[in-house]
Amino acid sequence: LDAVLADLPAVPQPLTEVARRRARRWIVAVMGESESKGRWRLARHTSVVALMGACHLDLSRAEIDGPDVVITALGIMGSIDIVAPEGIDVDLTGLSIMGRKSLRMRDVPVLRGSPRILVRAFPVMGEVTVSSRPAAADPH
């Protein structure tokens, strides 16, 4: 059998799977700043806390598993800024206490097959902002 198979091309070996980034479940800034941008992995449920600080999440190149992702954002005298690519379905819920939450997504059709992002915002004398960015504006 070896003689018959000798002139056949070699079977390519399967590539080893690249290790995935560990999902970020917590993003915290206490009297400072925390920034997540570029290629990073968002957990199915991620908690973001800004205590007299600022958190910036850029989801433009983030790895998102599954059809739904929940981001719980707690800003206590701090600010949380979340940027999502245009065409992603984003829903903003929550409660502001002497603070502000705002959703500024462009009115474009939702991309078929894209994940849904639910942001539960709880600003206490702080701010949670969710906005969109066109794909062409992505600096990476």
Q: What percent of the chain has pLDDT over 70?
A: 89
Q: Is the predicted pLDDT of residue 123 greater than 90, yes or no?
A: yes
Tokens 């690519």 appear where? 85
Q: Is the predicted pLDDT of residue 19 greater than 70, yes or no?
A: no
Q: Please give the distance of CA 137 from its chain centroid, rounded to a whole number.
A: 17
Q: What percent of the chain has pLDDT over 90?
A: 64
Q: Is the predicted pLDDT of residue 139 greater than 60, yes or no?
A: no
Average pLDDT score, the chain: 88
Q: Please give the distance of CA 71 from its chain centroid, rounded to a whole number.
A: 8
The pLDDT value given to residue 11: 65
Q: CA–CA distance from 92 to each of 80, 89, 117, 122, 126 (Å)?
A: 13, 10, 9, 10, 16
How confident is the model over 90-122, as pLDDT tens digits? 999 999 999 999 999 988 888 888 899 999 999
Of residues 88 and 8, more confidently modeled:
88
Which of the four pLDDT bands, split at 50, 70 and 90, describes residue 8?
confident
Q: CA–CA distance from 72 to each of 17, 123, 138 (Å)?
A: 31, 11, 25
Q: Is the predicted pLDDT of residue 16 greater than 60, yes or no?
A: no
Shortest CA distance to 51 belongs to which of 71, 82, 78? Answer: 78
How confident is the model over 47-70, as pLDDT tens digits? 999 999 999 999 999 998 889 999
The pLDDT value given to residue 107: 86
The pLDDT value given to residue 12: 66
